[in-house]
Copies of this chain bind each other. A is one copy, B any other.
Amino acid sequence: MLGVPEEILEPLSRSPVARDVAHRAGVSTATVSRVLNGSAGVRADKRAAVMRAAQDLGFVANGAARALSTRRFMAVGAVVPNIENEAFVRVLSSFQERLRQAGYTLVAANAGYDLEDELREATFLLERGVDGLMLVGDIHHPDLHARIARHGIPMVQTFSLSRERPCVGFDNAASAARAANYLVDLGHRRIGVISGLRKDNDRGGARVTGIAQALEARGLRLAPEHDIEISYGIGGGRDGFRQMLAGGPPPTAIICGTDQIAFGAMIEARARGLDVPGDLSVIGHNDSDFAPFLDPALTTIRIHSAEIGHAAGDHLIARMQGRPVVRLTQIDAELILRASTAPPRKPDGV
């Protein structure tokens, strides 16, 4: 009573091919193809017969044969540094949404912040025959662009802007600088940074640079002991803040590379009896779903991931279809003010 055993359909000799449909409908494979695709100019009765036959047989065109014949695979690849990172997942998700609408499949790969690995994964996708490629950031293996070019497919890079390559992103330095300026405006003078690993990661690097420059422009500086680099995560945030406190006079405000890091830093601050935002203002990055629910709610730089994904998708689709595109799409990040930032308790003279 639990339904037919699975094997009943299994040995179905071989899946039907276009010729089977053609036979059954009494037409040629050419007509079958015409009906199932472009469908231009096939007489109504034949069309119906083909549809019917295809239906009956449960015909599904063989993708490889089609790809070989049309020389288009209808798939695009994406290589992201970390598929478990919320921001990238959101981009992939919205990217896929667009692609799917246009009939493309997304094939995503994970490169783990390593240039060699990224090259390997991208090559793998290229071999598979993807029709386009999405990359993250502006730092890649020296061979990567040549390989992509050799395949003659379009690529777009996301998150960072670039003069040289088509891109969809924002100015990491500028938006981090905005956060820094906001803190300075509030009266903070000793401002720290806890970022994730910056090696081969232009986003992280640009953010710190942006902050340092903003501070300098205001006559302040990012002290080396307040510039901490950790591996991502809540635990990293705790460690990072602990480390920062070990290095001289504590900052009155910190900017963190992710909301997870900010969360960790806040936990550590509380454990040390520091009040947020009274003793320490905290700013995160990404506006993760939990950010508004922290105590206090986290001020953060919101990256419009969904829009980046959509724009990257639109860009690639347009190019694959030979339509004109703009090379650079800027989607600015936004500073979301919440309760984790406030003027320092006793304004520091410089």
Q: Which residues of A contact B (CB under 8 A)?
A: 2-3, 6, 8-10, 12, 15, 58, 60-65, 67-68, 73, 75, 83-84, 86, 89-90, 92-93, 96, 100, 105-110, 123-129, 145-147, 149-152, 163-165, 233-235, 238, 260, 263-264, 267, 289-290, 293, 295
Contact = CB atoms under 8 A, between A and B. Distances in A.
Contacts of A234: 289-290, 293
A142 to B, nearest CB: 9
Contacts of A263: 290, 293
B149 A9 contact: yes
Contact of A60 (B2, B62, B92, B126): B126
A152 B71 CA distance: 26
Contacts of A12: 149-150, 152
A104 to B, nearest CB: 10
Given A2-B163, A65-B68, A165-B6, A128 B75 contact: yes
Given A62-B129, A128-B105, A290-B290, A164 B6 contact: yes
Which of A73, A92, A151, A290 is the most central at the interface, judged by chain B CB atoms within 10 Å of its CB? A290
Contacts of A96: 109-110
